[in-house]
Amino acid sequence: MSRILFAWIGNTDLRAPDEEDAIGVGPIAQAALAQNFQKIVLLTNYPESKINMYIGWLRARTAAMVVVEHKFLSGPTNFEEIYLAARGAIDAIVASESKRVELVFHISPGTPAMAAVWIILAKTRCPGLLIESSQKFGVKTVSVPLELAADFIPDIRRNFDKTLENLSAAEPPTSAEFGHIFFRSKTMHRVISMARHVATRSVPVLLEGESGTGKELFARAIHSASSRSSNPFVPVNCGAIPAELVESELFGSEKGAFTGADQARAGFFERADGGTLFLDEIGELPLKAQVKLLRALQESEVQRIGGKKPIKLDIRLIAASNRNLIDEMTAGKFRPDLFYRLAVAVIKLPALREREGDVSLLLDRLLAQINNESATEPGYSRKTLSAGAKRLLLQHPWPGNVRELLNTLWRAAIWCQGEVIGVEEIRESILPIENTSINQVLNRPLGGDLKLPALIEEVARHYLERSLIAANGNKTEAAKLVGLSSYQTLTNWLNRFGVPSGKTRA
């Protein structure tokens, strides 16, 4: 088992190399000297120039591998940023370990907000040991009851992801209707909250998002959480209906209305009466059909092709599109009056790459789903992911979102002959994609959530980790793959961005 210490670098630690006689070695070095750790992971918001001497001083005093994680924080008490930074560091380190790990969190260095976050993580999502240290009493284990950890939450809630409260209270993150949507990210928590609120109303809903983000899953959850849940949910893929058949499919037809209409037929609208009609990829509808759809929504009635009388209906409409309908309106491909009729409650589903922390959760849930569905197949053995395979999956941008992730895991489970899916099976299972990473990096909107240091760190960590995997831990080869002059330069980059090098060789 690998014992790993996590801590924020504090001001006392930085002073220790110059003032050891007066203040001692500082909390981090004190813990490193008193206890046995295989790895020490240090998080810091200090500039590299300020911590370099301390890191060298600490490495000379311990046999543990010292890893530095540079994290951008807008302030030392921003709970949300501190939590995301700490959680990201833990996830990355644990994923890189081939052995079981014991997590230890040092609450003495850093700000009180940083200590509070370690306590919350240790008592909820990342079970671990809490320690503190002082010159007078040395290094001690801290015992914090779960109830006390939960008491931190009310003060944090104003600026922090409310899912922490659910975690510490051992409550489900959302209602049963949304139980098939797995997440832990703040982004998805906000979207789920919006969907739950609108579910109880009968207003139209427009779901926007890339292909594979789960628009139909959300539509079904909204229907299930509504007062219409006992009535039909009718999904329609508008892009799969031939243009000449759209009207008859949506609104129905009478016998003899056209060649081949040998009997009266109800359309999708009628089949959804009393329930929910889900029009997926609504942007694919021809303009002529959009006119009739608008009228059906305005009048709450349809008229079959060849019919004499309108049919009154009571439906709740949920529409979805992977296109930007505002852009489609500008291009003249979508009617503005229909858009504004649909866009009463607009919910934008985030891409998987925007759901920080969700990929690792989905890997476990989706692989468990695959194992359960394949359990009765002849010769199938339950699959697990190796640390390297999981790390490779965490690095992929997933342009096809959750659907692509699920299909990749299915392929890997098929190719894997044993019980552990390795790096090679994952490489063979990830399909080649068009390189859109440049646009994703260079064309992000200014302001809002854009943080240049974090973006630069994300890009650097991505390529450094990929190079180490591709070079099987050989630093000289990895340096060549990312255009660095030598393995020493690569080592400096790894230390700068806190990338664990694992079992490497020059």
Q: With contact defined as beta carbons under 8 Å apart, do 39 and 93 qualify?
A: yes
Q: With contact defined as beta carbons under 8 Å apart, do 163 and 355 qualify?
A: no
| Residue found under tokens 């001001």 | 11
Q: Which amino acid is at 157?
A: R
Q: Which burial class, exposed, middle or buried, applies to 155 when counting CB atoms under 10 A from its CB (0-12, 13-18, 19+)?
A: exposed
Instruction: Return the beta strands (E) in 59-203 as ranges.
Output: 65-70, 101-106, 129-134, 138-142
Q: Domain 186-349, what architecture?
A: 3-Layer(aba) Sandwich (3.40)
Name the percent of the chain in helix, strand, coil, to the closest 5. Answer: 50, 15, 35
Written as one string, the DSSP assignment of 384-434 is EE-HHHHHHHHH---TTHHHHHHHHHHHHHHH--SSEE-HHHHHHHSPP--
3-state secondary structure of 302: strand
Instruction: Return the beta strands (E) in 223-295 as ranges.
Output: 233-237, 276-280
Amino acid 433: pLDDT: 64
Give pLDDT tens digits along the chain (506 positions): 889 999 999 999 999 999 988 889 999 999 999 999 999 999 999 988 899 999 999 999 999 999 999 988 888 888 888 998 999 899 888 888 878 889 999 999 999 999 989 988 887 778 889 999 988 889 999 876 544 444 444 334 333 444 444 443 333 344 567 878 888 888 898 899 999 989 988 899 999 999 999 999 999 999 999 999 999 999 999 999 998 899 899 999 888 777 777 788 899 999 999 999 999 999 999 999 999 999 999 999 999 988 889 999 999 999 999 988 988 888 889 999 999 999 889 999 999 988 888 898 899 899 999 999 999 998 899 999 998 888 889 888 899 999 999 999 999 999 999 999 999 999 999 987 654 444 556 656 676 667 788 788 888 888 888 888 777 778 888 888 889 988 888 888 988 888 876 545 55
For 2-163, CATH gives 3.40.50.10770
3-state secondary structure of 262: coil
Cβ contacts of 65 within 8 Å, gap of 6 or more: 38, 39, 40, 500
DSSP label of 265: B
Q: Is the dihedral of CA 434, 435, 439, 444 positive or negative?
A: positive
Beta bridge partners of residue 488, listed in sequence order: none
In angstroms, the Cα distances linking 350 to 177, 192, 484 are 19, 11, 35
Label residues 250-274 b or e (16+ Cβ within 10 Å = b).
bbbbbeebeeebeeebebbbbebbe
In angstroms, the Cα distances linking 182 to 121, 172, 213 are 19, 11, 12
Label residues 326-348 b or e (16+ Cβ within 10 Å = b).
eebbeeebbbeebbebbeebebe
Closest C-alpha to 96, from 399, 501, 506, 504: 501
Q: How many CB atoms lie within 10 A of CB 492?
A: 14
What predicted TM-score, i.e. pTM, was given to this entire model?
A: 0.55
Label residues 67-88 b or e (16+ Cβ within 10 Å = b).
bbbbbebeeeebbbbbbbbbbb
| Residue found under tokens 């209305």 | 257
Q: With contact defined as beta carbons under 8 Å apart, do 57 and 463 qualify?
A: no
In angstroms, the Cα distances linking 321 to 88, 191, 237, 270, 501 are 32, 16, 10, 22, 42
Q: With contact defined as beta carbons under 8 Å apart, do 305 and 251 qualify?
A: yes
User: Identical fold at 2-163 and 444-496?
Assistant: no
Instruction: Return the beta strands (E) in 83-146 as ranges.
Output: 101-106, 129-134, 138-142
Beta bridge partners of residue 66, listed in sequence order: 40
Looking at CATH, the fold of the domain delimited by 444-496 is given as Arc Repressor Mutant, subunit A (1.10.10)
Report how far Cα 65 is from the mean position of its chain's Cα atoms: 29
Please, what is the angle between helix 26-34 and helix 11-23, to 10°?
70
Task: Please state, in angstroms and rounded to a whole number, the distance separating the CA atoms of residues 433 and 397.
Answer: 10
Q: Residue ranges of the domains in the chain? A: 2-163, 186-349, 444-496
Task: Please state, in angstroms and rounded to a whole number, the distance separating the CA atoms of residues 452 and 457.
Answer: 9
